[in-house]
Structure 1
Amino acid sequence: MRRYARTLVAVALATTVVAGTAGWVSGDAQPALTGPPPGSASWRADHALGRTLPDPGRATPAEVADFFRGLSAEQQQTLVVRHPLVVGNLDGAPVELRYRANALSLKAGHEPRYRSLAAPGRRILAFDPRGRGQVAEVFGDLRSARRVSVVVPGSDIDAGTFDRRDDVYGTPAGMAKSLYAQSGPGGAVIAWAGYTTPVGVGLDAATGDLAEAGADRLARFTEGLTADALPEPAVFCHSYGSVVCGLAAPRLRATDLVVLGSPGMRADSVGDLHTRARVWAAKDATDWIDEVPNVRFAGLGHGNDPADPHFGARRVPAREAEGHTGYFVPGTDSLRAFAAIAEGAGR
């Protein structure tokens, strides 16, 4: 009974912190974007190639990859032009085709907030304009890379804030660029904002609903990389993104799983993640996430702190990082450690 009472107190404290901490805002409930890419109905009905196209909602990334390998270059280009939003978001499709398809989609004149994504030279691996928008961008040459990393962001990230100019190292593009610059030659980094994130710190951020939907999308995304004959990535998960990664862990094609500024992974320990990836955790002493109680009760909270030694993760130094978004700042010990992990140190 006493333990139950303590749990209730912790949950009440968590709710208080979420609702009332200075500088935080209440979050608006967000509907998770799920299902196949936009334009899938037209894709399914298209028989221009004289064959049935793989169902974007049912075909595995491996099946998608096999399908595209059986097409001529002309047939591939036909699908890119006719269905750019499908090809550009279809896990398992060749990355070169996805780049071309997303360039076409972005040139089609979507909302002004997407204009910067259409700049020459950007390698956009995914672009979905529905809802708040979802984006993935590659830094480096993904096809020739010997090592690949994926950065998964936390709350308040969408197509409009993907590479915002303020709080740069709290954005997926900023984190990925910094990791790519710090890493040695032969690597590539993907900034993946491919799920519906919470807005502010409210009920969405305190529950796992959006993370569960995001976990499905992240697992399929990493499966698509390996289906396209790319290396299994090291996955770096920031803040609420670590909840996504924790739920995806058993299905995640990854060599390493690195969480930073984590509120919990919905697991009690590394063993509960059921992953063969190496698990790492970083948290600096000034990160406000440390004020959030690590509890789970009645659907609220995300469980034990991955940076706690009892969780069993390998600890990443973060003495030189500052605040919740300082882990990828150039010159920090955390960024140097991340780069070493991305380069395969200790494998």
Structure 2
Amino acid sequence: MVTLTQLRDAALGGLDRAVAEWTDLAGALDGLVGRATTGVGGPLRASHWDGADADAAERALAARGEQVRVAAQEARCVLTVLDAAADQLRSARHDLLAGLAEAAAAGFTVFEDGRMEPADPTRGVDAAMVSRRHELEQRLAVPVRKATEVDTHCAEALARLYPTAAADWADTAADGACVMALAGLDLATIPKGDPVAAAKWWAGLNPSEQAMYLAGYPAVLGAMDGLPTEVRDRANRVALAETKVALLAELAAARAKRDAAGRTDDAKWRFRVTALKERLAAIEGLEATLRSGDDLYLMGFSAKDDGRAIVAIGNPDKAAHTAVYVPGTGAGLARIGADVSRMRSLWLATQQINDPGEVSTITWVGYDAPDTLTHAMSTSYADDAAPAFVKFLRGIGVSQGIDSNNHVTVIGHSYGSVVLGQAAHQSGGLVAKDIIVAGSPGMHVTRATDLNCHPRHVWVAAAENDIVTGMGSGAHAPAVDDGRRPRRVTPDDSEFGANRFTTDGANGHSEYWSSRHSASLDNQAAIVSGNYEDVRLLWGERP
């Protein structure tokens, strides 16, 4: 129990110093993960060491990295508890000192147990004096009682956070919820939907406050357009790990219910088990992708629907040239590795250009893509995706600094080009200098100028035997009648008014980023890096 004297004489600066030290520790642990990735993981991958021993080494490195990430998140929880204790004890002490001053002014001496007596023993004690003494004693008891409650709750929280070798992401999720309730941080105070407001809010927090929000709301921060990429990456990796642990627990429970169910209910639980295993396999695929390089940033993650992820190669906050790729039908966590691999090929192609500047290529699977070609005949998926995509692009600009947002290119493949077409008509349009579409079934416009972008900066790739451009045109290419016969104009038509570049050697619908037939890849690298004179055109006019 906290006494009046203890609260009166409390030196709370020690708690403030502890908060600062735990903040530094959390940052150091985050840095340790990064150094392990670049200093150990990078050379291992570069050595092309393979086999059972190499696989074991990779698993061991990943496991150690996870342990350090857990420790960093737990450190953020500890500093949140200490900071809450400091703030609440400081408030209680302020109230106590005010009450003590008032008691002294009223002519009372206050004892350690909170009792009061007149400072002048010769002074008579009348009914008014007795009433005033009782009032002041009650007032002083409130901050002491509050300090005792704070001390008890914080001690219980710190005991819960006591580190063990078995600590895992299930612990961090539960601990984060616990300390947020203790600290009184309100989710409603976090700005949503406005990248500029989000960036301003984050910049206004001190390092300890930032760490506290990372401890309690990683999924929220990871989804906030406008926040620095490194912050989103850290938050989303925590959200990813905590989601995986929660799904594993759900899978274990579903298996138990399946095994205990009778024949009537068995099928329901078998389907549930299968669905959970598929979601976990997709998450493990994303984890493998993130381990494949030391320059990858997880800018978005959700297990909703088929799963969503936004993965950047290179930090877009520091890039002179940024490409954002929107894949089409079938996109989701289950195939995120293949889509990121395409952007790795594009990033590598830009590095072959003389002095390309800092380049970042981003795979944006931030929407529920159609699962089948039948679903892809609907525009609804693109309608739902467009606002989120535009907000993401604006967030990139905010993170880079609006004035230094030098060059953003958006790339839409297949149904992804439909998303770009719908996004171009959102308020403010696409915040991009160049638009590239490959294998496009149509963008719901008949002219490049209708995309709110100069037509010289609209670029099109279409392989000769890509059947999607014709097959999907009935749904996504508007019909025009020039007096001859009604027809549909897709972006690869010369009448569309865009620059069509060569794709020599690319076969079908899926080789636009193939390094085996590099014409399409090299042309995109030239566009992304702003080397327009190197783009080989079938028709059109370079900027």
Partner of 1:60: 194
Contact 2:222 2:299 in 1 (8 A): yes
Please report how far the alpha carbon of residue 142 of structure 1 lies from its aligned counterpart in structure 2 after TM superposition: 2.5
Q: 1:327 aligns with which of 512, 518, 523?
A: 512
Q: Structure 2 CA distance, aligned partners of 1:264 and 1:73?
A: 47
Contact 1:282 1:317 in 2 (8 A): yes
Contact 2:317 2:396 in 1 (8 A): no
Partner of 1:226: 397
Q: Structure 2 CA distance, aligned partners of 1:286 and 1:145?
A: 35
- Compare relative contact order (CA 8 Å, sep 6+) and give the higher one, 1 or 2: 1
Decide whether aligned partners of structure 1 residues 151 and 51 sit closer, same or farther in structure 2, where only a CA change above 3 A counts: closer
Q: 2:359 aligns with which of 162, 187, 190?
A: 187
Residue 113 in structure 1 maps to residue 282 in structure 2: yes
| Secondary structure at the counterpart of residue 281 of structure 1 | strand
Letter of the 2:301 counterpart: F
Task: Kindly provide the CA deviation profile for residues 160-209 of structure 1, in whole angstroms up to 9, marking residues without a partner as x.
Answer: 2111xxxxxxx42122111011113511100111111111110x211211
Partner of 2:307: 133
Q: Structure 2 CA distance, aligned partners of 1:50 and 1:266?
A: 43
Contact 2:327 2:413 in 1 (8 A): yes
Please report how far the alpha carbon of residue 239 of structure 1 lies from its aligned counterpart in structure 2 after TM superposition: 0.1
Decide whether aligned partners of structure 1 residues 90 and 318 sit closer, same or farther in structure 2, where only a CA change above 3 A counts: same
Please report how far the alpha carbon of residue 80 of structure 1 lies from its aligned counterpart in structure 2 after TM superposition: 1.5
Please list, as runs of the form range in 1=range in 2, the aligned pairs for 1:166-185 lying within 5 A after superposition.
Answer: 171-184=338-351, 185=356
Contact 2:318 2:400 in 1 (8 A): no
The structure with the largest alpha-carbon Rg is 2
Decide whether aligned partners of structure 1 residues 267 and 253 sit closer, same or farther in structure 2, where only a CA change above 3 A counts: same
Letter of the 2:229 counterpart: V
Decide whether aligned partners of structure 1 residues 284 and 112 sit closer, same or farther in structure 2, where only a CA change above 3 A counts: closer
Task: Kindly provide the CA deviation profile for residues 89-129 of structure 1, in whole angstroms up to 9, marking residues without a partner as x.
Answer: 11111111101001111221522421243354442110011
Residue 198 in structure 1 maps to residue 370 in structure 2: yes
Partner of 2:321: 147
Task: Kindly provide the CA deviation profile for residues 43-76 of structure 1, in whole angstroms up to 9, marking residues without a partner as x.
Answer: xx988458962342xx411111111111112211
- RMSD over equivalenced CA pairs, Å: 2.2
Decide whether aligned partners of structure 1 residues 48 and 182 sit closer, same or farther in structure 2, where only a CA change above 3 A counts: farther
| Secondary structure at the counterpart of residue 85 of structure 1 | helix
| Secondary structure at the counterpart of residue 228 of structure 1 | helix
Q: Structure 1 CA distance, aligned partners of 2:436 and 2:380?
A: 21
Partner of 1:262: 440
Please list, as runs of the form range in 1=range in 2, the aligned pairs for 1:46-125 lying within 5 A after superposition.
Answer: 48=184, 53-56=189-192, 59-110=193-244, 111-118=280-287, 119-120=290-291, 121=294, 122-125=296-299
Residue 285 in structure 1 maps to residue 421 in structure 2: no
Task: Give aligned-pair identity as a percent.
Answer: 28
Letter of the 2:526 counterpart: A
Letter of the 1:66 counterpart: K
Contact 1:243 1:302 in 2 (8 A): no
Task: Kindly provide the CA deviation profile for residues 275-317 of structure 1, in whole angstroms up to 9, marking residues without a partner as x.
Answer: 357211110101121441634xxxx433321011100011111
Task: Kindly provide the CA deviation profile for residues 13-71 of structure 1, in whole angstroms up to 9, marking residues without a partner as x.
Answer: xxxxxxxxxxxxxxxxxxxxxxxxxxxxx9xx988458962342xx4111111111111
Q: Structure 2 CA distance, aligned partners of 1:286 and 1:51?
A: 52
Partner of 2:525: 339
TM-score when normalising by structure 1: 0.78
Partner of 2:386: 215
Q: 1:317 aligns with which of 502, 510, 521?
A: 502
Q: Structure 1 CA distance, aligned partners of 2:187 and 2:220?
A: 17
Please report how far the alpha carbon of residue 221 of structure 1 lies from its aligned counterpart in structure 2 after TM superposition: 0.6
Decide whether aligned partners of structure 1 residues 141 and 312 sit closer, same or farther in structure 2, where only a CA change above 3 A counts: same
Task: Kindly provide the CA deviation profile for residues 236-256 of structure 1, in whole angstroms up to 9, marking residues without a partner as x.
Answer: 110000000011114211010
Q: Structure 2 CA distance, aligned partners of 1:52 and 1:94?
A: 21
For structure 1, the 5+ residue unaligned runs are 1-41, 164-170
Decide whether aligned partners of structure 1 residues 74 and 276 sit closer, same or farther in structure 2, where only a CA change above 3 A counts: farther
Decide whether aligned partners of structure 1 residues 157 and 50 sit closer, same or farther in structure 2, where only a CA change above 3 A counts: closer
Letter of the 1:213 counterpart: D
Q: 1:275 aligns with which of 438, 453, 474?
A: 453
Structure 1 segments of 4+ aligned residues over 6 angstroms from their partners: none
Partner of 2:473: 294
Contact 1:80 1:101 in 2 (8 A): yes
Contact 2:377 2:472 in 1 (8 A): no
Please report how far the alpha carbon of residue 132 of structure 1 lies from its aligned counterpart in structure 2 after TM superposition: 1.1
Q: Structure 2 CA distance, aligned partners of 1:135 and 1:124?
A: 7
Q: Structure 2 CA distance, aligned partners of 1:265 and 1:113?
A: 30
Contact 1:258 1:281 in 2 (8 A): yes
Contact 1:208 1:302 in 2 (8 A): no
Aligned length: 290
Decide whether aligned partners of structure 1 residues 158 and 74 sit closer, same or farther in structure 2, where only a CA change above 3 A counts: same
Please report how far the alpha carbon of residue 233 of structure 1 lies from its aligned counterpart in structure 2 after TM superposition: 1.5
Q: Structure 1 CA distance, aligned partners of 2:472 and 2:387?
A: 26
Decide whether aligned partners of structure 1 residues 205 and 116 sit closer, same or farther in structure 2, where only a CA change above 3 A counts: closer
Q: Structure 1 CA distance, aligned partners of 2:228 and 2:316?
A: 11
Task: Kindly provide the CA deviation profile for residues 224-244 of structure 1, in whole angstroms up to 9, marking residues without a partner as x.
Answer: 100112635201110000000
Contact 1:285 1:319 in 2 (8 A): no
Q: Structure 1 CA distance, aligned partners of 2:242 and 2:302?
A: 13
| Secondary structure at the counterpart of residue 191 of structure 1 | strand
Q: Which has the higher helix share?
A: 2
| Secondary structure at the counterpart of residue 369 of structure 2 | coil
Q: Structure 1 CA distance, aligned partners of 2:436 and 2:299?
A: 22
| Secondary structure at the counterpart of residue 321 of structure 1 | coil
| Secondary structure at the counterpart of residue 371 of structure 2 | coil
